[in-house]
């Protein structure tokens, strides 16, 4: 199992050094999305670069029906608020669609 180190630059220029375990983090994000969207027909998390901080998430769920793309993505950001705040996610691509 590979363990990566990352540097997270916070607002104000403060830098924190953390440890990142790619396999656990992808599973963590997948679990958060499955919990946040329990009726989802499809949830997928891809580590785009292999570095453990650039992700593409795809969620297909009935909750997105009738919502604008911005509203759909806001729901995903809300579910992933913790890993976005702690630096696990540096870059996030989101694909969403309703299933109704």
> For the chain, what percent of residues have pLDDT higher than 90?
61
For the chain, the domains span 3-97
Q: In whole angstroms, what is the distance from residue 72 CA to residue 95 CA?
A: 9
pTM of the model: 0.76
Q: Which region among 1-5, 35-39, 42-46, 87-91 has the lowest average model confidence (pLDDT)?
A: 1-5
pLDDT digits 0-9 by tens, 45-69: 999 988 888 999 999 999 999 999 9
- Is 3-97 a domain of CATH 3.30.300.90? yes
Strands 15-21 and 3-9: antiparallel
For residue 60, what is the enclosing H or E element? Answer: strand 54-60
C-alpha neighbours within 13 Å on the C-beta side of residue 69: 4
Angle at 1 between CA 20 and CA 89, to 5 degrees: 25
- pLDDT tens digits along 71-89: 999 999 999 999 998 888 9
């Amino acid at each position: 199992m590979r363990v990566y180190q990352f540097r997270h630059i916070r607002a104000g220029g403060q830098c924190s050094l953390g440890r990142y375990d790619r396999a656990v983090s992808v599973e963590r994000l997948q679990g958060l999305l499955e919990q946040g969207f329990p009726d989802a027909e499809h949830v997928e998390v891809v580590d785009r670069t292999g570095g453990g901080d650039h992700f593409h998430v795809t969620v297909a769920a009935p909750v997105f029906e009738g919502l604008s793309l911005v509203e759909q993505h806001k729901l995903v950001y809300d579910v992933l608020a913790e890993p976005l705040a702690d630096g696990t996610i540096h870059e996030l691509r989101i694909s969403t669609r309703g299933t109704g």
